[in-house]
Amino acid sequence: MSSKLFGFKSTVSHPLPIHRLQVQHSSADRVTVHFINRDGERLTAMAKEGESLLEVVVNQNLGIDGFGACEGTLACSTCHLIFEEDVFQKLDAITDEELDMLDLAYGLTDTSRLGCQVCVKKVMDGLTVQVPMEVADMRRGLEVGKQSK
Amino acid sequence: MALLQRGRCCGAAATTSLRRLVRGPQGRVCGRHVCSQYRASSSLPDEKKEFLQNGPDLQDFVSGAFSDKSMWAEYKGNLKRQKGERLQLPPWLKTEIPIGKNYNKLKSTLRSLNLHTVCEEARCPNIGECWGGGEYATATATIMLMGDTCTRGCRFCSVKTAKNPPPLDLNEPYNTAKAIAEWGLDYVVLTSVDRDDILDGGAEHFAKTVSHLKERNSKILVECLTPDFRGDLKAVEKVALSGLDVYAHNVETVPELQRKVRDPRANFKQSLQVLKHAKKVQPDLISKTSIMLGLGETDEQVYSTMKLLREADVDCLTLGQYMQPTKRHLKVEEYVTPDKFKHWEKVGNELGFHYTASGPLVRSSYKAGEFFLKNLVEKRKTKVI
């Protein structure tokens, strides 16, 4: 039988599960996104075009604490992310609803956006975003610094 | 080794059978060769077979054999979260699956009356216990008013969130009061979601429910666990004067962690003001609040928070363990031991709280009726003496 139909090669001895076949075919639409977590750790994910950054974090179980509490309904600011200047300029315009919630976020910067409102595009391949620090983390960092002295 | 070989044979057979399928009706799918995704037990190695034979089975789990309290002190697992890890649930937090007549009865009553409970919405682990009724046979349920969708997204709470939840059901106060009165509860806790989209935050709606309820059954004890109404003290007053017995509002955590844990529209000072004001406008009220432990707070912070609360004349305090409801919420930083919770209970009693309910599974309205009645009965006894 034609091996193209199932993606089998004649040398393969066991069949590939169907979902793996689909991933192989759509690898071209994957965009690489890097998240710099609060502790400095770099988390890399392969996002699908059109997915919001919140969806990327949640669906791929990235270890970012308390991210997306309102499930992307613009009722919190827990998916607050800091972008690089050049990428920030290219993002879709911010709505008033997003601005209202973003204003409440801790550690707001000029290149901050809410991750649930930013959808991944092909041109963002290799994007790096920073997860902002929390008040509590900053305080704890200072305390640890004091203790180590 | 034998397994791998068998796997390959299976694979080859499957390829063959699939080819046969494609070939058309002449090709038969030979049953013997269809590769199952699931390994038959006969293909397991002997050690595994023995483990399955001699290890725990479903009966042990269902009977609660693993909730043996004597094993808690021996638990050697990690209780404080290290970077990058997710803590395992210690044995004292494992609860039984809710089953039983009372639980089922309550569940079907709620559905038929179209009532929401925070017990279900926020995935409370005590649902089986509270709904089943305790030693005083007071089943407690916490009815959630104003729908099941909140306008805030706090990082510890899994209640649904939306920017514009569905509008309030104007018949809800009347219907809820009717349903609760019919139900025959002795103690009911009414709570709600945050409704920042409504002018008074839903205070009028809340107050109406309480007054309707008291009209139908003046003997029922009502506790209201309210939102902060964005600090609108007029709204707080409306609810406080509606006829309820216990006014509850949760500060949730120590002041240092408020920003991290709660929605930024909430804060410690505002919450404390709510509690103070309720007492101010209705001095006969009993005020109550709740703190979650295990979010990264220190002992000093907890102690000073308790002192602040007592100074604000808060009567009742509950302390419970924070448990991560979904992966979008904060990870547990520490699992506080039952002994530590007992320590905080002692501290609370020493500070002069009317009662301090403290335990890993204690929640704001956990057995609220039980505690309240038990305390009331005891206090009355001492007066007689």
B154 interfacial to chain A (CB closer than 8 Å): yes
**A chain contacts of residue B11, beta-carbon cutoff 8 Å:** 13-15
Q: What is the pTM of this model?
A: 0.76
Name the band, by pLDDT with cuts 50, 70 and 90, for residue B105: confident
- Record the tokens describing residue B365, joined without a space: 């309205």
Mean pLDDT on B226-235: 95
Band (pLDDT 50/70/90 cuts) for residue B142 is confident
Residue of B167 and B61 predicted with greater confidence: B167
Contact (CB<8Å) A14/B263: no
Contacting residues of B for A61, CB less than 8 Å apart: 327
Indicate the pairing of strand B286-293 with strand B246-248: parallel
What is the pLDDT averaged over residues B342-368?
A: 91
Map residue A71 onto helix, strand or coil: coil
The confidence score (pLDDT) of residue B86 equals 81
| B153 close contact with A: CB closer than 8 A | yes
Of the listed ranges B10-14, B141-145, B350-354, B370-374, the one predicted with least confidence: B10-14
Contact flag B22-A1 (C-beta cutoff 8 Å): yes
Inter-chain CB proximity B15 and A61 less than 8 Å: no
For the segment B181-200, what is each residue's pLDDT rounded down to a tens digit? 877 777 889 999 999 999 99
CB contact under 8 A, A75 and B10: no
Which residue reads 């904060």 in tokens? B330
- Kindly report the average pLDDT of chain B as a whole number: 81
The pLDDT-based confidence of B138 (bands split at 50, 70, 90) is: low
Q: Between B23, B256, B263, which is nearest A76 by CB?
A: B263
- pLDDT at residue B324 greater than cutoff 50: yes
Among B9, B154, B322, B327, which would you mutate to test the A interface (most chain A Cβ atoms within 10 Å of its Cβ)?
B327
**What is the Cα–Cα distance from B196 to A46, expressed in whole angstroms?**
37
Does any CB of chain A come closer than 8 Å to the CB of residue B14? yes
pLDDT tens digits, one per residue of B264-322: 999 999 999 999 999 999 998 899 999 999 999 999 999 999 999 999 999 999 999 99
pLDDT at position B128 is: 77
Question: Could you tell me what percent of chain B has a pLDDT over 70?
Answer: 78
Do B154 and A6 lie within an 8 Å CB cutoff? no
| Structure token pair of residue B100 | 């039983």
- What are the C-alpha distances in Å from B324 to residues A122, B95, B145, B336? 34, 15, 24, 14
Contact state of A5 with B15 under an 8 Å Cβ cutoff: no
For B313-317, B327-331, B368-372, which range has the lowest pLDDT when averaged over its residues?
B368-372
Q: What digits encode the pLDDT tens for the residues B3-18?
A: 444 444 444 444 444 4
pLDDT band at residue B118 using 50, 70 and 90 as cut-offs:
confident
Query: What letter represents residue A104's amino acid?
Result: L
Better-scored residue on pLDDT, B59 or B92:
B92
Binding-site annotation: residue ranges of B: 119, 124, 130, 150, 154, 157, 365
d(CA B266, CA A104): 11
Q: Is the ipTM of this complex over 0.90?
A: no
Residue contacts between A and B (CB atoms, under 8 Å): 95
pLDDT the model gives residue B45: 82
Among A39, A77, A140, whose Cβ lies nearest the Cβ of B264? A77
Chain B contact for A131, CB < 8 A? no
The residues in A 33-62 lying below 8 A from B, measured between CB atoms, are: 39, 41, 58, 61
> What pLDDT does B2 receive?
45
Q: Who contacts B77 (Cβ-Cβ below 8 Å, separation ≥6)?
A: B87, B88, B90
Q: Which of B324, B325, B330, B196 is nearest to A74 (CA)?
A: B196
Mutate: best of A73, A104, A112, A147, partner B, most B CBs <10 A: A73
Is the predicted pLDDT of residue B29 greater than 50, yes or no? no
- The single-letter DSSP state of residue B107 is H
Ranges of residues in chain A with a pLDDT under 50 are 1-12, 21-25, 148-149
> Which B residues, 53 through 82, put their C-beta within 8 Å of a C-beta on chain A?
none
Q: What is the pLDDT of residue B53?
A: 75
d(CA A52, nearest CA chain B) in Å: 15
Work out the minimum CA distance from A2 to partner chain B, whole angstroms.
Answer: 9
pLDDT confidence of residue B381: 62
State whether A106 and B264 contact (CB < 8 Å): yes
Measured CA to CA, the distance from residue B279 to residue B273 in angstroms comes to: 10
Closest CA to B329 of B302, B362, B295: B295
